[in-house]
């Protein structure tokens, strides 16, 4: 059995490629609003649950203790492009806890944003762990450890205080026990616990509304959502889907991408959570699918719909800038 086609890639007169996958939209009471494909399979949420992984940073009082504002909280939820401003905020976060880049255990890579990579090389620089797209999340983890008086070394391990708190938040939001036999290691070295899409969509419906959450947790989620809405540049960066969508829709949409074609989101005013996975891990198809889900479930003006259409049906151009094709959501999504 196979999942349905979510996105078609067109070139000239033909469909050149096809992306299959599954999608689920839930409300905060746990009712299924939309479901497509085999949604019972466990999915590693990867970076798509960073907004949930950032809850301990706020709930524990760490964010207040270190004087974090919207930029820091947005960066704690981010898969950022490694642009100078991202690096600066991550460094600032570490500094508040008396740490520096050497404390980060996420590993080093060149900035995801190609222009930032070119600028860094042009200046004779080399990347550090601060350029890792997860450095803001990891800086937040380190701050939680330090504020709790715990040894921060090994904070990426499942047994460390920080990951235990992150796991508890994920279990609470998803309503599921996370199992060792469904745990993989993420690109940034922390555990990624696989859960089915309905549990992820449910978690984001609760995250977006606070419905069914303890008051302090609901308040922390609202504060993180507000930070992402106010500073979406710090959640991703230049030219990125998450940033561009939240710049346009503000607090009406929370979206967070994850590796291997995962995407989660919340439509707080509608009380809905969205979770999707492109079978083949394709980011381009996950973005088109998320745009189609927003178009389907978020009431919006004609102007907003026209903007969203550019994300739901992006154009493909060749190196000369000539339009040669495009992507489109399948009929099952729209």
Smallest distance from its own copies to CB 135, Å: 11
Q: Which is nearer to its own copies, 128 or 209 (CB)?
A: 128
In degrees rounded to 5, what are phi and psi of residue 257?
-85, 155
Q: Which is nearer to its own copies, 158 or 300 (CB)?
A: 158
Nearest CA-CA partner of 253 in 265, 271, 240, 243? 265
Nearest CA-CA partner of 236 in 45, 50, 44, 46? 50
326 binds its own copies (CB under 8 A): no
Contact (CB, 8 A) for 23 and 198: no
268 binds its own copies (CB under 8 A): no
Options 124, 149, 159, 215; binder of its own copies; rule CB under 8 A: 124
14 binds its own copies (CB under 8 A): yes
Give me 243's structure tokens. 């940033």
42 binds its own copies (CB under 8 A): yes
282 binds its own copies (CB under 8 A): yes
Between 157 and 196, how does the x/- string for binding to its own copies read (CB under 8 A)?
Answer: ------------------------xxxxxxxxx--x-x--
| 3-state SS class at 325 | strand
> What span, in angstroms and rounded, lies between the C-alpha atoms of 191 and 185?
5
324 binds its own copies (CB under 8 A): yes
Q: Which is nearer to its own copies, 62 or 117 (CB)?
A: 117
Nearest CA-CA partner of 135 in 79, 68, 57, 186? 79
Contact (CB, 8 A) for 107 and 162: no
Contact (CB, 8 A) for 289 and 22: no
> What span, in angstroms and rounded, lies between the C-alpha atoms of 106 and 76?
13
| DSSP string across 287-302 | HHHHHHHHHHHS---H
Options 30, 175, 212, 281; binder of its own copies; rule CB under 8 A: 281
Smallest distance from its own copies to CB 76, Å: 18
Q: Which is nearer to its own copies, 13 or 149 (CB)?
A: 13
| 3-state SS class at 225 | helix
266 binds its own copies (CB under 8 A): no
Options 109, 167, 248, 296; binder of its own copies; rule CB under 8 A: 109
117 binds its own copies (CB under 8 A): yes
Residues interacting with its own copies, by CB under 8 A? Answer: 2, 9, 11-14, 16-20, 42, 44, 105-110, 114, 117-122, 124, 132, 181-189, 192, 194, 260-261, 278-282, 285, 318-322, 324-325
């Amino acid at each position: 059995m196979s999942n349905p086609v979510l996105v078609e890639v067109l070139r000239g007169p033909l469909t050149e490629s096809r992306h299959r996958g599954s999608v689920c939209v839930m409300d905060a009471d746990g009712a299924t609003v939309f479901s497509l494909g085999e949604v019972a399979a466990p999915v590693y949420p990867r970076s798509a649950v960073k907004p949930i992984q950032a809850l301990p940073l706020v709930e524990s009082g760490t964010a207040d203790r270190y004087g974090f504002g919207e930029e820091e909280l947005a960066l704690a939820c981010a898969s950022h492009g490694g642009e100078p401003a991202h690096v600066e905020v991550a460094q600032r976060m570490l500094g508040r806890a008396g740490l520096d880049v050497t404390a980060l255990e996420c590993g080093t890579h060149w900035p995801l944003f190609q222009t930032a990579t070119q600028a860094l090389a042009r200046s004779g620089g080399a990347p550090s762990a601060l350029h890792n797209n997860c450095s803001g999340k990891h800086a937040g983890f380190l701050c939680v450890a330090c504020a709790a008086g715990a040894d921060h070394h090994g904070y990426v391990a499942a047994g460390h205080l920080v990951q235990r708190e992150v796991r508890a938040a994920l279990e609470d939001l998803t309503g599921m026990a996370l199992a060792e036999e469904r745990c993989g290691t993420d690109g940034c070295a922390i555990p990624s616990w696989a859960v089915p899409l309905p549990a992820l969509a449910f978690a984001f419906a609760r995250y977006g509304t606070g419905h069914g959450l303890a008051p302090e947790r609901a308040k922390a989620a609202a504060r993180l959502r507000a930070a992402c809405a106010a500073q979406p540049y710090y959640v991703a960066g230049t030219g990125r889907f998450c940033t561009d969508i939240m710049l346009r829709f503000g607090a009406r949409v929370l979206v967070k991408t994850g590796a291997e074609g995962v995407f989660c989101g919340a439509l707080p005013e509608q009380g809905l959570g969205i979770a999707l996975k492109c079978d083949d891990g394709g980011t381009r198809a996950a973005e088109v699918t998320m745009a189609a889900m927003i178009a389907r479930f978020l009431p919006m003006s004609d102007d907003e719909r026209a903007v969203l259409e550019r994300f739901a049906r992006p154009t493909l151009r060749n190196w000369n800038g000539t339009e040669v094709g495009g992507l489109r959501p399948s009929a099952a999504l729209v």
